[in-house]
Structure 1
Amino acid sequence: MHATGIDTITSAAGVAKKSLYNNFSSKAELVSAYIDARHKEWLDLHRERSAKASTITDRVVAVFDAYIDHANDAYGKGFRGCGLLNTAAEFPAGHPARSSVRAHKEQVEKILAEDLESMTSEAEALELAEHFSFILEGAVARAGLEGTPERLEHARAIALRMLAAL
């Protein structure tokens, strides 16, 4: 995205530069809007899954389910991994786009920790949330390489086994 020029973006979107700049003052603002939209999209998927959860275990794995749902949504050419991480990779360390993506990832981990606290101590919940985040991010990366959400489903199964051991 960072290395992609405005001409390429407007051509792929099928809009004129003027239309793009009528809605976004800069490419940076466009990227920020994309990150915000993807974050909201994931939060909405998580809220739907979480609302259906009947147990705390279901609430915890709702995070994994939301990632699986996202991977299954409209990826006719195959899942390409986390759009937020893919975007962040286009920018140097310290760039606001990377900070926005980091905030999303931290919020996901916080959601996990909050749900896990009702199953264990606060310290263990924080540690387990970090472990689940690592498992989830690794699964997203592999799923992106393989073009299928299968690794995310495996990560969900790992999380369920870890939860059963508590």
Structure 2
Amino acid sequence: MSQGSARERLLDAAARRFYEDGVHATGIDTITSEAGVAKKSLYNNFSSKAELVSAYIDSRHEEWLGLHQARAAKASTAADRVLTVFDAYIDHANDAYGKGFRGCGLLNAAAEFPAGHPARSTVRAHKEQVERILVENLEVMATEAEALELAEHFSFLLEGAVARAGLEGTPARLEHARAIASRMLAAL
């Protein structure tokens, strides 16, 4: 049994099950059983499965930000700081997943909800923050207009690569996308 508070264990169990099996395919009983807590404990920590899903999405976002911040702290050049976004995605793809890497957990979750659902809006905000991080780092190397355009290109490159990496179960596409981005940065 894992250590930590009931809330932490519930979030950890939900993260594994939502990523591996999907949000809608994962029931509350599965999560509470894997977390080793009573169903009442789930409702003492989350008012509903929807609130648990929201906490999962926020947790995945914070996890990615942590990976990015760790990489960014070691970057020595502006180009390196841009590439840390790619590196954080690669780090995520290299994590140990029970059923293998299946792509971006946030996009996988968002795909299960209809347009306009709060979960989709939260995932969109995360993706927009990633693009802002790219813009901020690119502005050191290019004009504001160029930085905005290149950040959008890099976002498309990242999202396409993570989708393909998820389908293929390997980070190779993300590594290739990073190499493309590196060549684009060298051309600035």
Which TM-score bucket, shorter chain as reference?
Answer: over 0.9
Structure 1 runs (4+) greater than 6 angstroms displaced: none
Structure 2 spans left out of the alignment, 5+ residues: 1-22
Rounded Cα–Cα distance in structure 2 between residues aligned with 1:3 and 1:76: 16
Distance 1:153 1:49, change over 3 A: same
Alignment partner, residue 146 of structure 1: 168
Q: Give the drift of 1:5.
A: 3.4
- Which structure is higher in RCO with an 8 Å CA cutoff and minimum separation 6? 1
Alignment partner, residue 116 of structure 1: 138
Rounded Cα–Cα distance in structure 1 between residues aligned with 2:37 and 2:184: 48
1:29 to 47, 51, 74: 51
TM-score (norm 2): 0.84
Structure 1 spans left out of the alignment, 5+ residues: none
Alignment partner, residue 115 of structure 2: 93
Rounded Cα–Cα distance in structure 2 between residues aligned with 1:152 and 1:98: 23
Equivalent residue letter for 2:110:
A
1:5 to 13, 27, 40: 27
Count matched residues. Answer: 166
TM-align CA RMSD? 1.3
Is 1:162 the counterpart of 2:184? The answer is yes
Rounded Cα–Cα distance in structure 1 between residues aligned with 2:98 and 2:133: 30
Rounded Cα–Cα distance in structure 1 between residues aligned with 2:153 and 2:143: 15
Q: Give the drift of 1:78.
A: 1.8
Is 1:40 the counterpart of 2:57? The answer is no
Q: Give the drift of 1:17.
A: 1.7
Equivalent residue letter for 2:78:
I
Is 1:107 the counterpart of 2:134? The answer is no
Deviations 1:104-162 (A, max 9, x none): 00000000001000111101100100000000000000010111111110010010011
The percentage of counterpart residues that share the same residue type is 86
Equivalent residue letter for 2:125:
A
Alignment partner, residue 53 of structure 1: 75
Is 1:135 the counterpart of 2:157? The answer is yes
